[in-house]
Structure 1
Amino acid sequence: MVSRPLASRTPHNSEPTNSSSPSRDGADDEENRLTQKFAAFRYLVPLTQNPDVLFLNAASAPPSNLVVHEAITKYSSDALYAADPHAAWRETREEARGLIARCINAENPRTLAFTRDTTEGLGGFVRALAGAAGFGKGDNVVLLDNEHPNMVFCWLALRESTGIEVRIVPTVERARREGRVRAVGMETLRPYVDARTRAVGISSVSFDAGQVHDVQGICAELRPRGVHVLADVSQHVGIARLDVREMGVSAAAFSLHKGLNCPTGVGALYVSPRAFAESGDLVPPVVNMAAVGNMRESLLVDVDQPVQYFPDARRFEHQNMSLVGVAAAAAFTRFYLEVLGPGDVEGYLYYLTGSLRRECEALGIRVVGPVERRERAPHICVLDLDAETWGPYLAGFWGARFTVNRLGIRVSFGFFNSVEDVRRFVRVLELGVERGLRV
């Protein structure tokens, strides 16, 4: 059976749409341009053609697409039929490294190491920095209380072995008091930073309510004082324009399965040349032959010679990485940079979330998080709805895919979403309100 396109259908269960939902009528020329541009790419994500699914969960992991599918198919074909495919795969790996370096405006491709995921990148840098800088009792690191658990655990794991203090900045209670989740800048951190602060760990875009923290402002004040800033940019890469040099971080880790639409199991770690210059010898916590610059072709290790690590992020890389993952990364990152366009992706996602925010306001549904565009992520809206009642209603009855978190119902968009998706979801919300679900 051939399904009609999602845009031509009413919400699941065949209830009528509402003409007062978000529309392109009255949209400015730029919004019309973006809407038309991204409508042409919707077919690349076959799940969007399923009338029983309304996918609004890109911040967790987007559905795959035909660009990635083609890259994986080619990889599989090479594995089946090529006598020695590894040479070509290694070339693809370096192509992907260069493309991702462009994506984040890194100094050069060698500032990037491929990792298994964000956690491996964060943990590798944290452990290496702790050893090189000699973290000890009396030193401290500053984190937010709503930071992603994987960032927090990387630092907590050092407390027993180094004696370092992990200082947690309380933002959750403040948000409860004020009824508003705010983005964080240096003013929030300043009371917790002192002469013994060695590092700050922070996400550039928060995973919970999509706050865009002022990492650049934090770096501008703390990096000249020798304080390292480690950023989790997983909710930033492939979603909005990112310039790690302008941001000024010591290092940044990210997965490739979110904004860059790759399979899980591959991420990247950026380490700035300045961080290497300031920290001495950053020895990775797990050392293998891919990290060593003076590895002999014979693979015999001369234990009497000093180990010469690569003088850049490549020392954090493992020999046996996900080559199928980096093949997907090369294909989609090129598509993102050269076809979709980072600025257009960012603008289009802001348009979708802006439309949803306006409609929610009209319905009396509060959107959690910053209001100002510069302080909120392009792709995330968290609706202040009771998960126990709204969750089953949205998922079971309407086929919506979203994330339930501590703040409510998190809705997140990707390049494949459409204005019609917003219309359809708003109508679902209207029907829920009409049925008496609590707002």
Structure 2
Amino acid sequence: MKRYLNPDKSKWPQILERPLFNAADLTGRVQAILDEIKTDGMSAVQKFTKQFDGVTISDFAVTEAEITEAAALLDDELKAAIETASKNVTDFHASQKTEIKKIETSPGVVCWQKAVAIEKVGLYIPGGSAPLFSSVLMLAIPAKIAGCQEIVLCTPPNKEGKIHPAILFAAQLVGVTQIFKLGGVQAIGAMAYGADPVPKVSKIFGPGNQYVMAAKQLVSIADVAIDMPAGPSEVAVMADDSANPAFIASDLLSQAEHGPDSQVVLITNSEKLVDEVESALTNQLAKLSRMEIATKALDNSVAIILNTKEEIIDMINEYAPEHLIISMDNYLEVAERIINAGSVFLGNYTPESAGDYASGTNHTLPTNGWARSFSGVNLDSFIRKITFQEITKEGIQNLGPVIEKMAAAEHLDAHKNAVALRLKDIEDS
């Protein structure tokens, strides 16, 4: 990790800069693939699946027999773990439901708002070196609670044309309605445009590599909504002398092993703690199966020592991390002052991996500083809110003159007339 000791505030943006890649060439290649899928449909999907995944698939839809087989392949302990996580995620997201409240804004004028589920949603679940079956829970459960009628899941096949059994088990457990052996840009294109039997959806959710992310952003311009802009995963840790260095190292590495372009940041007021964390990183890194990936990610990572708690809080709010761990003795007080973060983990015994899997909160979060303006996936991500208003004769008599005055000031005569006609009808009756 690169180390910075009390850097000047003017240098913070440069120090906290995310690892970037040149997207210009990537965008052009992804757009060409999407254009072909939009024009040629399933034939283009099959072509690119063979080209990029190295497998020829004639029928992309997963069968009931494949789902049954997947359940039989998983050990009982893993199935029980998935079921426990599913319950916690369900409980947390179900608590986000809101009641309809009718408000009388003035006598005879009643307004209310109703939540309506998006009818068709598409979920993209990565399935490469790390098949993210946990993302099935994070996306499908709130979609089901919201009341989405069709929940379509796409995930890449392996070289044998199969899907990891844990993904299939989780999908059937939480009510996914259709599953397809389909990954990459071709999956995003199929869900955005429709490629029989893959239906066109109204909104696409889920993480993916830089090609998938580019595809999501391109189709969102004119064809389909997406959950949020996203980039490589990241974590920031705020810590003082009360923190456990081994715990911090494990949290940094749990994020670093996601990919070589992941970023981990440690901000503290203790240089001694940085020394201890770096020692723990060395010891723990050597034992990881994804050591090479995590090592590359650590090249993008920084440790920053600042003088005061106030400076640490200011830096975190400027960075706006996807995941934030607060390992400080007054973590609840500090947390109250955090305004830019995707998900926050409090105290020494709250690892970031709890949120990734089983605490109940959602792990699909804004990265690359988007936490300044985006929330993580939640129940509202799967619904639209429609407003209603009902005005009685008394109500239009009370409010009508206000509307007429405002419409006249904007020179919108038809708007004024829509009220005037009703007021005259009441007067004449």
Q: Is the TM-score greater than 0.5?
A: no
Q: Which of the five TM-score ranges fits, normalised by the shorter chain? A: under 0.3
Q: Normalised by the size of structure 2, how large is the TM-score?
A: 0.26
* Higher RCO, Cα 8 Å, sep 6+: 1
Q: Larger Rg: 1 or 2?
A: 2
Q: Normalised by the size of structure 1, how large is the TM-score?
A: 0.26
